[in-house]
Amino acid sequence: MIKNDLFLRALKGETVERPPVWMMRQAGRYLPEFMEIKEKYDFFTRCQTPELASEITVQPIQRFGMDAAILFSDILVIPQAMNIEVQMKPNFGPYLPNPIRSQKDVNNVIVPDVEETLDYVMQAITATKEKLNDEVPLIGFAGSPWTILCYCVQGQGSKTFDKAKEFCFTQPVAAHELLQKITDTTIAYLKAKVKAGVNAVQVFDSWGGMLSPTDYQEFSWKYIQQIVDALKEETPVIVFGKGCWFALKEMSQSGASALGVDWTCSAQNARYLTGGKITLQGNFDPARLLSPPSEIKKMVTQMINEFGKDRYVVNLGHGILPNVPVENAKAFIDAVKEYKLAH
């Protein structure tokens, strides 16, 4: 039994004494202990070495005591397993030397045996569960098929993902085939993670907001829905679409346990669009963690009051920034732990 199950109770919609808190990208680049490991090992070595991945996963829990840990990994381990080369270039980000631009390229993409190709992730889960010792739940994650397609076709990060969109709009048959292959791999991957011991999963649709509402339905949402359908009986599923407030109503009817909200959507709008019946997660602007700690605490309290303490998971509206001072991250977590309903 997990000693602190606040996060899992909030996902079930149970009444809680305070909302749980964790931070997207909490295992990482703003922590001095992470930077020490980073100096010794390159990015994918950190992902592929279970001992390192598990160490990085538990660092923030040991320091701040969040209510959930999220496995240190990357959404791009999926394309790597699918026979697509992915490099992580320092000061540049992801780089795919052979982007997918044609039906022929799609034909070369495989749906792998994830237990084999991504075995190092499962080992990292086992090692992490041991270190966590049932103190808090562990979250596993994957990128949405659309978000993965964006990198596979664009070949790198982008402000517009114009090449990815062009591929979808000019070669829809090839695009849908690629999306389905990514979806099938992702479902198998997340199921393997659940089997290995994660207590919940999150799907990150980081680039969903790049699409119009109509295109979002066609190229992103229907594939996320397949993932939710395949996993929801086995584990709680959180869906986070950055910039996807327009899809919140449909997302709330998907069978997901919770929905992530970014900082451009207010608590009031998020509750309205989702009908007030589903757990929401978010939506603190990550850049606001650069405010003075006393101000952060006030804003967090206000945010909880606006969302309500039940059916709510305190989080950022996207990943924590690398330049956030450690004491500011602590103020964010502490504010939630100290939360008392203002009567």
- For the chain, domain boundaries: 6-283+311-319
What is the reported pLDDT for 131? 98
SS3 of residue 205 by DSSP: strand
Rounded alpha-carbon distances, angstroms, from residue 76 to 86, 87, 93, 149, 233: 7, 9, 11, 10, 26
27 is in an annotated binding site: yes
Pairing label, strands 279-284, 312-316:
parallel
216 is in an annotated binding site: no
Residue type at 190 in one-letter notation: L
Count H helices, E strands: the chain? 17, 9
Angle, helices 293-307 vs 326-337, to 10°: value is: 40
Q: Is 81 exposed, middle or buried (0-12, 13-18, 19+ CB in 10 A)?
A: buried
How many residues comprise the chain? 343
- Closest to 94 measured CA to CA, from 47, 32, 36: 47
- Closest to 283 measured CA to CA, from 310, 256, 251, 306: 306
Q: How far apart, in whole angstroms, are the C-alpha atoms of residue 178 and residue 152?
A: 10
Tell me the HSE value of 129 on the side-chain side, using a 13 A CA sphere.
17
288 is in an annotated binding site: no
Q: Report the sign of the C-alpha dihedral through residues 247, 143, 335, 13, in that order.
A: positive
Q: How far apart, in whole angstroms, are the C-alpha atoms of residue 148 and residue 121?
A: 18
144 is in an annotated binding site: no
Q: The domain 6-283+311-319 is classified under which CATH number: 3.40.30.10, 3.40.50.10860, 3.10.50.30, 3.20.20.210?
A: 3.20.20.210
69 is in an annotated binding site: no
What is the reported pLDDT for 342? 58
- Closest to 137 measured CA to CA, from 86, 57, 70: 70
What order of strands is seen across the sheet that includes strand 279-284? Answer: 69-70, 138-143, 200-205, 237-241, 258-261, 279-284, 312-316
SS3 of residue 98 by DSSP: coil
29 is in an annotated binding site: yes
206 is in an annotated binding site: yes
To 10 degrees, the CA torsion angle through 66, 304, 264, 252? 90
> Given the structure tokens 């929905």, which residue do they identify?
259
CB 60 within 8 A of CB 319: no
Q: How far apart, in whole angstroms, are the C-alpha atoms of residue 291 and residue 111?
A: 45
Kindly list the averaged pLDDT for each block of 10 residues, start to end, along the chain of length 343: 98 97 97 98 98 98 98 98 97 97 98 98 98 98 98 98 98 98 99 98 98 98 99 98 98 98 98 97 98 98 97 98 98 96 58
Q: How far apart, in whole angstroms, are the C-alpha atoms of residue 310 and residue 322?
A: 30
25 is in an annotated binding site: yes
